[in-house]
Amino acid sequence: MVFDDILGELIGDSGVMSVQNRFFCWSSIGGLVATLLLFQAVVPVQASPGTEVFQSFTQYISVQIGKDKQVFAEADRCTAWFYKQMGKKPPPAAQAEKIHFVPISQPDVAADCATRYPTGLVGAREAFGQAQQRLSFSLTFFQMALISDGDDDHAYSTQEMQDVVESFDRTYLSGQSVDQYVSQLVGLFERHRPELQFPVLMASMQTLMDKGYRLTKADQTALNRELE
């Protein structure tokens, strides 16, 4: 029986509600409101993926990109310095790199490079190669994060979030808090970054592409900012 039916019975044929029935009616309404409030208090509030999740995830990767760029720039600078000491020019690969980063402080190159790479040019070149690979991985993962925001609204819908997680062959857990969603995405990045698992990352991107996700103009603009 709906509330209108109950109210009709309490009023009766006379159209006037008695004092007793009026009291019963208000008590019933109060009890209904209290029950609804209690239900809301008991049922946990579950967040949906959105702007905060997308921004936290991409910012996390962006911070790592900044660290990778600094290491890359230091290795690049010292590689060039060691070549100069030998009276040779750095190989074209080191000169043609399009990623630029200028540290705030500029230490003495000779002392810094000699201390940082005791084995000289060999150590600097090895560090340069590793730094380049790590930076490339972080940038590619950032690209994946941008692509998976299919409508470029800087937010993850439930479907987009699910597609990202499942593209890495992981189980998507719905109904989590914002922090848990972010942790789930960051975990994907940190799980594959130490060993630079490019095949896994590229397979993930291909899975997203097969579902219709694309690198848009807005995505490319955001990616270019990370390259500056």
Q: What is the pLDDT of residues 125-172, one digit of tens each?
A: 999 999 999 999 999 999 999 999 999 999 999 999 999 999 999 999
* 218 and 84 Cβ atoms separated by less than 8 Å: no
Q: What is the pLDDT of residue 33?
A: 44
**What is the C-alpha to C-alpha distance for residues 108 and 121, in angstroms, rounded to an integer?**
17
* Residue 11 pLDDT greater than 90, yes or no: no
Q: If you average pLDDT over residues 198-208, what whole number do you get?
A: 97
Among residues 99, 203, 208, the alpha carbon closest in space to that of 145 is found at: 208
| pLDDT of res. 133 | 96
Q: What is the pLDDT of residue 91?
A: 73
| Sequence-separated (6 or more) residues with CB below 8 Å from residue 226 | 62, 65, 139, 142
Distances 14 to 8, 22, 24, 103 between C-alpha atoms, Å: 10, 14, 18, 86
Q: Is the pTM of this model over 0.85?
A: no
28-86 confidence digits (pLDDT tens) = 545 544 444 443 444 344 456 889 999 999 999 999 999 999 999 999 999 999 999 98
